[in-house]
C-alpha cells in the first residue's frame, strides 16, 4: 500500500470520511426540558445528549456507507486496484455520496428527531449540538474531495 499514490482530492475525501466516522460518536442532539421556578425565571436543563447512532435512525447507516465508500476508494487507489481509465470515475460516486450525506444532515438540522425525554414538567425540546455541525462539514469535505479528484483527473490544456 502506497499512500503517496493518493491524489489531493482522495486524501481530503478519506480524511473527511475518518472525521465523519469519529464525529458520529459526539453529541448531535440534546433533550432540553424547561423548568419554571415561580418568581425567578425559566431555566433550560439539558437532560440527555444523543450521538448520531442514537438519534438519526436509518440516516446513520447511510452516513456509514458514505464513509466506507470514501475510504474504500482511497484504499483501492493506494493499493493499485483501480483501473487507470474507468468508464465512470469512482470519484464521481464519492462526490455524489458526500452530497447525499450533506443533504441528509441538513434535513436533520432543519427537522430534528422527536425528543426521547419526558419529564412531565413542560414540553421537552430538542437542541442541536456541535456534532451536527462537524458532521455537516465532514460530509461536505467528502463531497469536495470527490469533486477535486474529478477535476485533477482531467487533462490540462
Model confidence pLDDT, tens digit, residues 103-124: 999 999 998 887 765 555 556 6
* Main-chain dihedrals φ then ψ at residue 124, nearest 5 degrees: -80, 135
With 90 as the cut, is the pLDDT of residue 39 above it?
no
Give 43's contacts (C-beta < 8 A, 6+ positions apart). 34, 35, 36, 37
What CATH number did the domain enclosing 60 receive?
1.20.140
> What is the overall mean pLDDT for the chain?
83
The domain total for the chain is 1
Establish if 56 belongs to a structural domain: yes
Establish if 3 belongs to a structural domain: no
Q: Which domain holds residue 118?
A: 8-152
Which pTM does this prediction carry?
Answer: 0.82
Establish if 1 belongs to a structural domain: no
Q: Which residue has the higher pLDDT, 57 or 97?
A: 97
90, three cell numbers: 469512482
**For 40-67, what is the mean pLDDT?**
82
Instruction: Please name the residue ranges forming H helices in 24-129.
Output: 52-55, 59-78, 90-110
Q: CA–CA separation, 87 vs 15, rounded Å?
A: 26
With 90 as the cut, is the pLDDT of residue 135 above it?
yes
**For 26-45, what is the mean pLDDT?**
71
Establish if 60 belongs to a structural domain: yes
Establish if 157 belongs to a structural domain: no
C-alpha count within 13 angstroms, C-beta hemisphere, residue 129? 20
Amino acid at each position: 500500500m502506497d499512500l503517496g499514490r493518493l491524489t489531493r482530492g482522495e486524501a481530503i475525501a478519506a480524511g473527511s470520511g475518518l472525521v465523519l466516522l469519529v464525529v458520529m460518536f459526539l453529541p448531535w442532539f440534546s433533550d432540553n426540558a424547561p423548568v419554571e421556578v415561580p418568581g425567578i425565571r425559566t431555566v433550560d436543563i439539558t437532560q440527555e445528549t444523543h450521538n448520531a447512532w442514537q438519534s438519526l435512525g436509518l440516516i446513520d447507516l447511510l452516513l456509514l456507507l458514505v464513509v466506507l465508500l470514501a475510504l474504500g476508494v482511497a484504499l483501492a487507489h493506494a493499493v493499485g486496484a483501480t483501473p487507470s481509465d474507468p468508464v465512470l470515475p469512482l470519484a464521481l460516486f464519492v462526490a455524489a455520496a458526500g452530497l447525499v450525506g450533506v443533504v441528509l444532515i441538513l434535513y436533520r438540522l432543519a427537522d430534528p428527531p422527536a425528543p426521547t425525554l419526558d419529564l412531565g414538567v413542560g414540553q421537552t425540546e430538542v437542541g442541536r449540538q456541535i456534532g451536527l455541525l462537524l458532521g455537516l462539514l465532514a460530509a461536505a469535505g467528502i463531497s469536495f474531495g470527490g469533486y477535486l479528484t474529478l477535476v485533477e483527473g482531467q487533462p490540462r490544456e
